[in-house]
Amino acid sequence: MATEMKTKESSVEDSTLKLRPLEKEDFKKGYLELLSQLTQVGEITEKQFNETFDVINSNKSSQVIYVIESTTEKKIVATGTLLAEQKFIHGCGKCGHIEDVVVDNSYRGKHFGQRIISKLVEIAKADGKIYKVILDCNDKNIEFYKKCGFDWKGNEMALYFN
Amino acid sequence: MATEMKTKESSVEDSTLKLRPLEKEDFKKGYLELLSQLTQVGEITEKQFNETFDVINSNKSSQVIYVIESTTEKKIVATGTLLAEQKFIHGCGKCGHIEDVVVDNSYRGKHFGQRIISKLVEIAKADGKIYKVILDCNDKNIEFYKKCGFDWKGNEMALYFN
């Protein structure tokens, strides 16, 4: 794709917190443990983590992962992913998908989720070709996403292979 | 990504119909007119179509588009897209997204939608790393997707930029 999605570090108010793109070092900073608060992760070696990181990072125009790090704890406490899907519809536009948003249990109620969403929406808008951002959530998160500017649009249907 | 998703032509019962991956020639076979029955497409030149086709096709491991062509009419009468999103969760697995499913108005009631979905699910299963396939739909299509093996999973939330 033409240009990579612009990603940069940006400070969260508290200077002990950093909002930035995922790095390979985050394997040691509990990124996978954080994801396991969302769903099944399984045993992933550092080698597998790095390989997967490279796959995702090889196309920055289509997928970026942001995290919030507690720099005092050297621990990843929140994350979210933005995927940009190339379409023919909407003048060969792109659809942004927000995925895998999770905030560490002990950091809830601090608006970290909102900061992650807001950053991913900002990146999507800056892309210029993305005409909408969508995400799937359970009933209890609808109000949270409404606060982030989203509206209910449809039903997510799923077919699991395992 | 490691291997490209396996795509091949496969015959639909009627020999005047062909289920196959999208080709550049489909610009002339009404592919965009078909998409415009789903949503806004806009004016797209053949050059833009080809460029977008190349972007999507440059990574067959992450996105494939299938169509059903009426060979007598040389017209695309149904289509659907499968996107494979690389994750860290589920043992560095992938999530399949089914997108932009549409059947031409005059070809409804012939199970073409089901054939497209079934093909995309087959490709997703064959990938080996995809652990689920998801899609978003409006209320009136829930029953159709249930027939295709899907269950209701959650709510699609959307934020439009235009």
Quote the ipTM score. Answer: 0.91
Q: Which of B48, B100, B153 sits opposite A89 (nearest CB)?
A: B100
Identify the weakest region by mean pLDDT among A32-36, A130-134, B6-10. B6-10
Q: Tell me, letter by letter, the H, E, C secondary structure of chain B.
A: CCCCCCCCCEECCCCCEEEEECCHHHHCCCHHHHHCCCCCCCCCCHHHHHHHHHHHHCCCCCEEEEEEEECCCCEEEEEEEEEEEECCHHHHCEEEEEEEEEECHHHCCCCHHHHHHHHHHHHHHHHCCEEEEEEEECHHHHHHHHHCCCEEEEEEEEEECC
Cβ–Cβ of A41/B91 closer than 8 Å? yes
Domain residue limits, chain B: 10-147
Cβ–Cβ of B133/A43 closer than 8 Å? no
Query: For chain A, what is the mean pLDDT?
Result: 92
Q: Take residue B66 and report the two structure tokens written for it.
A: 């299938």
Region B69-90: mean pLDDT is 96
Q: Which fold has domain B10-147?
A: Aminopeptidase (3.40.630)
A83 beta partners: A63, A97
Q: Which of A148, A156, A160 to mutate to test the interface with B (most CBs of B within 10 A)?
A: A156
Chain B segment 115-154 residues within 8 A of A by beta carbon are 121, 124-125, 130-139, 142, 145-146, 148-154
* Per-residue model confidence (pLDDT) at position A60: 65
Residue B7 has pLDDT above 80, yes or no: no
Token look-up 């269950």 returns B151
Whether A52 and chain B come into contact, CB under 8 Å, resolves to yes
Spatial contact of B85 and B97, defined as CB atoms under 8 Å apart = yes
Q: Which of B48, B133, B160 sits opposite A132 (nearest CB)?
A: B160
Q: Which of B155, B160, B162 to mutate to test the interface with A (most CBs of A within 10 A)?
A: B155
Q: Strand, coil or helix: what is A11?
A: strand
Whether B59 and chain A come into contact, CB under 8 Å, resolves to yes
Residue A86 has pLDDT above 80, yes or no: yes
User: Residue B5: CA atoms inside 13 Å, Cβ hemisphere, count?
Assistant: 31
